């Protein structure tokens, strides 16, 4: 397999899973954004010679073409896409065109371009297996069922570090507070997305494309214990759920070993260990990113791509100390109002992404002066 984003949180956990099963998995390609030192260390550990970095670096093939070369190499059977952001889109498209199986953790790929990626996968007979814990849960529950047998999906959310707070309470939150996730340990950007609940907005759009449903068939509920990873409510009223510890190594293993179900070496969950599981609705007036993401999917075309780009810019600006927490939904809404959605093609999506980032930076700059 090839791993795109190997130095990030999901990438390093993927390599940890692989290291536990050397008889089952072999890594033949690694790509990362900029961490050349860790990439080369991983290459030595797993004896990988095919490397690439998105950002120019001496001594390592660099740029988008180099990453695509890793994803499409002849000896690659499975491409694990876990690079943060929409930069994973083109390598995913090229991998699908080359007939490679895809294990997808980069939700932005389907958020921005599900309208293109899913038909392309069907055309080339490529199955996209999700790594996200919520989508992996739905994927497992839906085996053998058709989309028309499903009433709705319920994606669960821990609620993040600011669960129960109101908008006024979020005006001065710090980066450190936003990164203090109650149950999961993840990368910086996705942890901020969890704090704003944008992560659930992105997952809602991703679920729509992965499972062939309408956006209004995907619901989000708060589940602080993070044990029930998702629920599928069938037309007959039955609800199917997948439960397990909040440990990304299990959905990673499920995706890598699909369609087999074999010993993972990870501790199994027991209902006696977590007897009090609770659920509650989402406060969408406080956490506005979720309804904004849902609205972008209803509009369709290039709007989800623009929404995602605006969120990336705003979340990263917050992480860098250059924006306030509440500027994240403000920026997303501003860009969505100003973006004129057109039909989704690879070219229009690339342009929408560029334009939205420019608008987002302008909005953030004006907001920081206010």
Tens of pLDDT, residues 112-140: 999 999 999 999 999 999 999 999 999 99
- Please state, as a whole number, how many other Cβ atoms lie within 10 Å of the Cβ of residue 288: 21
| pLDDT over threshold 60, residue 370 | no
Instruction: Cite the beta strand spans of 62-199 per DSSP E.
Output: 78-81, 101-104, 128-130, 150-157
79 - beta bridge partners? Answer: 2, 102
| pLDDT over threshold 60, residue 368 | no
157 - beta bridge partners? Answer: 222
228 - beta bridge partners? Answer: 243
User: Residues 216-230: what's their mean pLDDT?
Assistant: 96
Cα separation values, 228 from 67, 269, 270, Å: 35, 11, 12
CB-neighbour burial class of residue 259 (10 A; exposed 0-12, middle 13-18, buried 19+): exposed
Closest CA to 364 of 313, 300, 319, 320: 313
| pLDDT over threshold 70, residue 369 | no
CATH topology of domain 300-363: Rna Polymerase Sigma Factor; Chain: A (1.10.1740)
Give domain limits for the chain: 2-131, 133-287, 300-363
- For position 31, what pLDDT does the model report? 97
User: Residues 297-325: what's their mean pLDDT?
Assistant: 96
| pLDDT over threshold 90, residue 101 | yes
Cross-sheet strand order for the sheet of 78-81: 50-53, 29-32, 2-4, 78-81, 101-104, 128-130
Q: Among residues of the chain, what percentage have pLDDT more than 70?
A: 98
Q: Identify the band that residue 59 occupies on the pLDDT scale cut at 50, 70 and 90.
A: confident
pLDDT tens digits, 139-185: 999 998 999 999 999 999 999 899 999 999 999 999 999 998 777 66
130 - beta bridge partners? Answer: 104
- For position 188, what pLDDT does the model report? 82
CA neighbours within 13 Å on the CB side: how many for 119?
A: 5
- For position 184, what pLDDT does the model report? 66
- For position 56, what pLDDT does the model report? 85
pLDDT, averaged across the chain: 94
220 - beta bridge partners? Answer: 155
CATH of domain 2-131: 3.40.50.720
Q: Among residues of the chain, what percentage have pLDDT more than 90?
A: 89
pLDDT tens digits, 257-286: 999 999 999 999 999 998 899 999 999 999
- For position 7, what pLDDT does the model report? 95
Instruction: Cite the beta strand spans of the chain per DSSP E.
Output: 2-4, 29-32, 50-53, 78-81, 101-104, 128-130, 150-157, 218-222, 228-234, 239-243
- For position 86, what pLDDT does the model report? 79
CA pair distance 239, 236, nearest whole angstrom: 9
């Amino acid at each position: 397999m090839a791993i795109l984003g190997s130095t990030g949180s999901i990438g390093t956990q993927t390599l940890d899973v692989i290291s536990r099963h050397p008889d089952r998995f072999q890594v033949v390609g690694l790509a990362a954004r900029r961490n050349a030192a860790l990439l080369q260390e991983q290459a030595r550990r797993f004896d990988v010679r095919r490397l690439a970095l998105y950002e120019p670096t001496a001594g390592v093939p660099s740029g988008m073409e180099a990453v695509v070369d890793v994803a499409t190499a002849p000896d690659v059977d499975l491409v694990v896409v876990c690079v943060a952001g929409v930069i994973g889109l083109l390598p995913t498209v090229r991998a699908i065109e080359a007939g490679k199986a895809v294990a997808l953790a980069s939700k932005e790929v389907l958020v921005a371009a599900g309208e293109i990626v899913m038909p392309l996968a069907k055309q080339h007979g490529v199955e996209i297996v999700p790594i996200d814990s919520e989508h992996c849960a739905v994927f497992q529950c839906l085996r053998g069922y058709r989309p028309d047998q499903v009433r709705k999906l319920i994606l669960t959310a821990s609620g993040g570090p600011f669960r129960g707070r109101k908008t006024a309470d979020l005006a001065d939150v710090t980066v450190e507070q936003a990164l203090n996730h109650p149950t999961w340990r993840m990368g910086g950007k996705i942890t901020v997305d969890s704090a704003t609940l944008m992560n659930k907005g992105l997952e809602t759009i991703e679920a729509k494309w992965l499972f062939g449903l309408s956006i209004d068939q995907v619901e989000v509920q708060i589940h602080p214990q993070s044990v029930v990873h998702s629920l599928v409510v069938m037309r007959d009223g039955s609800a199917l759920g997948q439960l397990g510890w909040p440990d990304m190594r299990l959905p990673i293993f499920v995706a890598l070993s699909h369609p087999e179900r074999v010993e993972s070496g990870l501790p199994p969950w027991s209902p006696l260990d977590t007897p009090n599981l609770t659920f509650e609705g989402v406060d969408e007036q406080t956490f506005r990113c979720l309804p904004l993401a849902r609205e972008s999917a209803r509009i369709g075309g290039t709007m989800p791509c623009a929404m995602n780009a605006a969120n990336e810019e705003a979340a990263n600006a917050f992480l860098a100390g250059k924006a306030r927490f509440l500027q994240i939904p403000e920026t997303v809404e501003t860009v969505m109002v100003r973006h004129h959605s057109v039909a989704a093609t690879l070219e229009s999506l690339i342009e929408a992404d560029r334009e939205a980032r420019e608008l987002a930076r302008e909005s953030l700059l004006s907001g920081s002066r206010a």
